[in-house]
């Protein structure tokens, strides 16, 4: 019994000592996201006789969102591991031009258009997700300068796209009805929503650098690419890049 007590006491002392010397840090963080990219969407059948041609969406500037969450960092002799739980909002702005056939133009305008017309799509896609980055990093300059890399797990909470459509009809520009689509829970009877349905889970590759001020404030800049793909439809191709600038506060 005495040996058991001694062993238990030694284990408890060792555990407390290990935590005391574990060099574990943690805190909160917040910042802004900057998203850009382009996508190619294959032809979509609107009805049995009407199809939208392939759309080559180009970047229409950088979309700004936000990021906030908590982080924990375990420091070792030559490297560290940092795990975070963040909530993020990503905004992707795109545009494309194509020529709509009379059937497609009539479908989009909700009125009869007997000729092919130039159409301009301007879209803004918004994705909100819970992210879990698992980062492996190294420090320099007495721990002030950091660099890190690792996977980022994305669990989609919300996804939608808003489209502003303009057509040139008889030499005059005409705004067609705007459309908003839910890409997280698409309407199965809406072909444009169904083809753009996003995954509930995907993953990204992330890399970044950071600088620590006053041993308490972490300024980070990072860049992520969703290598696991965002859309369920594998025929949708393109590129999506997400930059994040954040400020973290070490609480312990």
Q: For the segment 125-165, what is each residue's pLDDT rounded down to a tens digit?
A: 999 999 999 999 999 999 999 999 999 999 999 999 999 98
Res. 12 pLDDT band, cuts 50 70 90: very low
Does residue 110 sit in helix, strand or coil?
Answer: coil
Q: How far apart are CA 127 and CA 148, in angstroms?
A: 25
Q: Which residues contact 12 (CB under 8 A, 6 or more apart)?
A: none
In the predicted structure, residue 2 carries a pLDDT above the cut 60:
no
Q: Which helix (H) or strand (E) holds 8?
A: helix 2-20
* Average pLDDT of the chain to the nearest whole number: 90
Pairing of strands 217-225, 201-213: antiparallel
Q: What is the pLDDT of residues 90-132, one digit of tens each?
A: 999 999 999 999 888 888 878 888 889 999 999 999 999 999 9
Pairing of strands 80-100, 55-59: antiparallel
Mean pLDDT, rounded, for 2-20: 44
Q: Where does 24-250 sit in CATH, by number? A: 2.40.128
What tokens appear for 63 in the block? 């979309």
């Amino acid at each position: 019994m005495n040996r058991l007590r001694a062993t238990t006491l030694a284990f408890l002392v060792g555990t407390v000592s290990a935590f005391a010397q574990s060099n574990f840090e943690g805190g909160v963080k917040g910042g802004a996201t900057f998203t850009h990219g382009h996508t190619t969407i294959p032809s979509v059948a609107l009805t049995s006789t009407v199809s939208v041609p392939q759309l080559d969406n180009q970047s229409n500037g950088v979309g700004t969102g936000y990021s906030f969450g908590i982080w924990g960092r375990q420091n070792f002799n030559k490297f560290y591991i940092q795990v975070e739980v963040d909530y993020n909002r990503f905004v992707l702005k795109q545009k494309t031009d194509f020529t709509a056939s009379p059937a497609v133009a009539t479908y989009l305008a909700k009125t009869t258009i007997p000729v092919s017309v130039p159409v301009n799509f301007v879209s803004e896609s918004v994705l909100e997700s819970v992210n879990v980055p698992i980062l492996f990093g190294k420090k320099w300059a007495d721990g002030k300068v950091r660099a890190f890399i690792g996977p980022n797990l994305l669990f989609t909470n919300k996804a939608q796209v808003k489209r502003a459509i303009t057509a040139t009809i008889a030499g005059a520009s005409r705004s067609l009805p705007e459309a908003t689509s839910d890409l997280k829970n698409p309407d199965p009877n809406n072909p444009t929503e169904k083809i753009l349905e996003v995954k509930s889970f995907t993953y990204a590759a992330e890399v970044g650098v950071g600088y620590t001020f006053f041993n308490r404030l972490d300024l980070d800049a990072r860049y992520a690419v969703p290598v696991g793909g965002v859309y369920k439809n594998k025929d949708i191709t393109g590129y999506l890049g997400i930059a994040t600038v954040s400020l973290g506060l070490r609480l312990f």
